[in-house]
Amino acid sequence: MALLKAFGSLLADGPNMGLFLPGTGGKLGKFLEEERLLSEYACEKPEIFLEFIYKRRMVPPVSITSPLVEKFSKDLNKAFLRYVARGDHKKVEKILSKGFDPNFQCPKTGETPLTIAVTRTKPYSVISALIAGGAHRDYYSKSGMTPLHKAAASRNFEAVKTLLDFGQSPNCRDRGGLTPLYVNILCDPDKRICHRLLYEHSELGVANREGLQEIHQAARLNRVEQINLLVMYGADVNSRCVRPSGPLSDISLIPTVPLSTSGDTPLHVAASAGQREAVLRLLSWGADPTLVNLANQTAVQLAQACGHAELAETIRLFRGDSEDGAYGKC
């Protein structure tokens, strides 16, 4: 990631470049995984040399000379994507067995074979064929999504499970720096994928360009079950919205409505959006209604300002208080 930040503007497809460890002693070289430390890779030499190159197939055989490949020489990529979209894993395997590299983007849609495969109803066979044939699990589409992000956004639990079972880290980032967990909370009201990603140790506290973390988004969208899971796995129910510094080009792939003020808690966000169920669940988890944001507003005052008078009263009376007190005057 540090190399991409330094040279990203100079590269045509920077996210799909990686550190390559050349093979030695008859062993094949490999691309290093971003989430692993260099010390985790066994190496007999005290010094190692790494290459920063575009990711490509590393699984043999590597020559493409068969009649089958020649038959589709003009539109092989197009035909291959068509087989992937159909779920025809046998034809996918046959082409891959001849050395075809599945790490590419469709010129029209920008999708990769894996980001297409993860949208299928029964994706296991095609995903496993692609990975066995050399597809990188973290190869990005033109829009900046990894296959796991695409699966999470598509609400495809089986695809998410398959990728994780094949070793994909749940903490890969999209072009906007968001995790699959974050994207899933934005796109999916069901809790299964959220739960699986959290179980696999998905990082918490990731924020978009407006400073909204996962629990803020769950509160904004009234995702009550996700709120439960996030808190149970360690999310701070009183976490503050802090707008991160950085270039404006580092934007989220999924647009968000600017409904936050610096210092907002999840309760502030739910109150401003009028999400009663989320408000009550946050309060039951111990959300503090007396906290103020940088505009010096409590959740009660913010709900009132946004036209949710009844919700403001619900927050104020949650603990049996009949006076305005520290909750702020309505």
Q: Are residues 4 and 67 in the same domain?
A: no
Backbone phi, then psi, for 132, in 5-degree steps? -65, -30
Query: Domain ends where: 169, 203, 237?
Result: 203
Q: What is the pLDDT of residue 164?
A: 98
In a domain, 250, yes or no: no
In a domain, 119, yes or no: yes
Q: 3-state DSSP helix/strand/coil percent for the chain, to nearest 5?
A: 40, 5, 55
Q: Are residues 306 and 320 in the same domain?
A: yes
CA distance linking residue 283 with residue 319, whole number of Å: 9
pLDDT digits (tens, 9 = 90+) for 282-297: 999 999 999 999 999 9
* Cα 126 from chain centroid (whole Å): 21
The two tokens of residue 62 are: 């590597």
Domain span at 123 = 61-203
Q: Are residues 309 and 210 in the same domain?
A: yes
CA distance linking residue 119 with residue 41, whole number of Å: 33
Distances (CA, A) of 227 to 187, 213, 291, 321: 14, 12, 19, 25
Q: Are residues 102 and 192 in the same domain?
A: yes
Q: Are residues 210 and 305 in the same domain?
A: yes
Bond prior to 255 in cis (omega within 30° of 0): no
Backbone phi, then psi, for 31, in 5-degree steps? -90, 135
Cα dihedral 227, 231, 236, 241 in deg (nearest 10): -20
Q: Are residues 123 and 192 in the same domain?
A: yes
**For residue 40, how many C-alpha atoms fall within 13 Å in the half-sphere facing its CB?**
6
pTM over 0.75: yes
Q: Are residues 87 and 191 in the same domain?
A: yes
pLDDT digits (tens, 9 = 90+) for 190-199: 999 999 999 9
Q: What is the pLDDT of residue 92?
A: 97
Tell me the pLDDT of the chain (330 aa) as tens digits.
555 555 555 566 778 877 767 766 667 666 677 766 666 666 656 667 777 767 887 766 555 555 555 555 558 899 999 999 999 999 999 999 999 999 999 999 999 999 999 999 999 999 999 999 999 999 999 999 999 999 999 999 999 999 999 999 999 999 999 999 999 999 999 999 999 999 999 999 999 999 999 999 999 999 999 999 999 999 999 999 987 665 444 444 444 445 567 899 999 999 999 999 999 999 999 999 999 999 999 999 999 999 999 999 999 998 765 555 555 555
- Tally of domains in the chain: 3
What CATH number does the domain containing 151 carry?
Answer: 1.25.40.20
Distances (CA, A) of 13 to 18, 173, 307: 11, 15, 46
Q: What is the CA radius of gyration of the chain?
A: 24
Q: Which of 254, 265, 266, 200 is nearest to 228 (CA)?
A: 266
Q: Which of 59, 58, 22 is nearest to 43 (CA)?
A: 22
Q: Are residues 228 and 119 in the same domain?
A: no
Q: How many residues appear in the chain?
A: 330
